[in-house]
């Protein structure tokens, strides 16, 4: 398969990069000085696969110039950076990396909730600055027993629910439809869910319907004692409304792994002590990074060996 051209859209994983180089004719988009349209035109006949991620996937501007493109393998579970309609129209296969990252993302979601409520980052700065000598740290809020709302009860949402249950939290959720085989309380209206929970997790896929699903009404329903945790996508949240709510005290706090215009984060958030910010690292552990890379490779090899895909989307 060394003669099969594979385009990697941006740096993702050194391990994945090495594995692709060992198996395919790898093109690294970021290593070429030519404008992207010129690069794609030059190599249009060679590229049969695209490997993308949450930063750069495969939109129509990338797909159209590649007449021999057969498969898009995403090094992520999210598909919002891939033009699925264009892929379906052209008969291009699409795969992603579900399941292998579920635990890590759910772990981080719970970690963010704990960090916000127990003020872990603020505590850390308190000790490092030497302020403990001057007196004890202020009281925080407990996580155990809180009411938890989850938007999107898929793989990651369910994993968050399972972990929150271990803290004796009451679980409720919102999704497109009520899920069978669960005792969690279902809300068809997201505003009602936000009003009835103390911590709201965003764990759904990003679609046209879920874009800015967290708006002013939802934020105000969650209220000045409520906590928002976003481990989904930045565009799930109307970011200016979130910033305003935090600055005005209309929202109690937030834990954010994702942002609307990554890697740019609103500077107004930097001085707030009731939020925890991490740089989109939900699945970024050594173990999961390798498992995701292996799944990308396995899907590519299966496709070019005319075998069933492991995690097909299209």
Residues noted as catalytic: 233, 262, 280
**How many residues are recorded in the chain?**
314
Count other C-beta atoms under 10 Å from residue 272's C-beta. 14
Alpha-carbon dihedral angle through residues 82, 87, 89, 93, given to the nearest 10 degrees: -150
Q: Phi and psi for 258 in degrees, rounded to 5?
A: -135, 155
Give the distance, in angstroms, between the CA of residue 185 and the centroid of all CA atoms in the same chain: 24
Q: Give the strand order in the sheet containing 47-52.
A: 25-28, 5-8, 47-52, 71-74, 93-95
Reading phi first (left if > 0) and then psi (alpha if -120 to 50, else beta), residue 204 is in beta
Q: Please give the DSSP secondary-structure letter assigned to residue 275.
A: E
CB 113: neighbour CB atoms within 10 A? 28
How far is residue 287's CA from residue 253's CA, in Å, rounded to a whole number?
30
- Please give the Cα distance from 127 to 119 (Å, whole number): 12
CB 23 within 8 A of CB 2: yes
Task: Spell out the alpha helix ranges (H) of the chain.
Answer: 14-23, 36-42, 60-63, 84-90, 102-117, 120-128, 155-165, 190-195, 216-222, 239-248, 286-304
């Amino acid at each position: 398969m060394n003669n099969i051209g594979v385009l990697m859209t941006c740096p993702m994983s050194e391990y994945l990069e090495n594995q692709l180089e060992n198996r395919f004719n790898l093109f690294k988009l970021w290593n070429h000085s030519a404008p992207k349209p010129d690069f794609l035109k030059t190599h249009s006949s060679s590229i049969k696969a695209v490997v993308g991620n949450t930063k750069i996937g495969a939109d129509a501007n990338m797909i159209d110039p590649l007449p021999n493109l057969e498969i898009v393998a995403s090094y992520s579970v999210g598909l919002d950076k891939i033009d699925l309609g264009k892929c379906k129209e052209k008969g291009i296969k699409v795969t992603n990396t579900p399941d292998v990252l579920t635990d890590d993302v759910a772990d981080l979601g719970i970690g963010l909730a704990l960090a916000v409520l127990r003020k872990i980052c603020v505590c850390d700065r308190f000790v490092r600055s030497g302020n403990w000598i001057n007196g004890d740290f202020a009281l925080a809020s407990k996580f155990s027993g809180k009411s938890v709302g989850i938007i999107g009860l898929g793989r990651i949402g369910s994993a968050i629910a399972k972990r929150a249950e271990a803290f004796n939290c009451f679980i409720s959720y919102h999704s497109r439809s009520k899920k069978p085989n669960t005792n969690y309380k279902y809300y068809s209206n997201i505003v009602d869910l936000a009003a009835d929970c103390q911590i709201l997790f965003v764990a759904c896929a990003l679609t046209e319907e879920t874009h800015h699903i967290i708006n002013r009404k939802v934020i105000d329903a969650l209220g000045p004692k409520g906590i928002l945790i976003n481990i989904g996508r930045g565009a799930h949240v109307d970011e200016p409304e979130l910033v305003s709510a935090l600055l005005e005290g209309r929202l109690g706090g937030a834990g954010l792994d994702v942002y609307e215009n990554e890697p740019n984060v609103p500077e107004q958030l930097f001085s707030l002590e009731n939020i925890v910010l991490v740089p989109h690292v939900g699945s970024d552990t050594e173990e999961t990074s390798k498992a995701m890379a292996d799944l990308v490779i396995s899907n590519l090899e299966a496709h070019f060996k005319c075998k069933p895909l492991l995690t097909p989307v299209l």
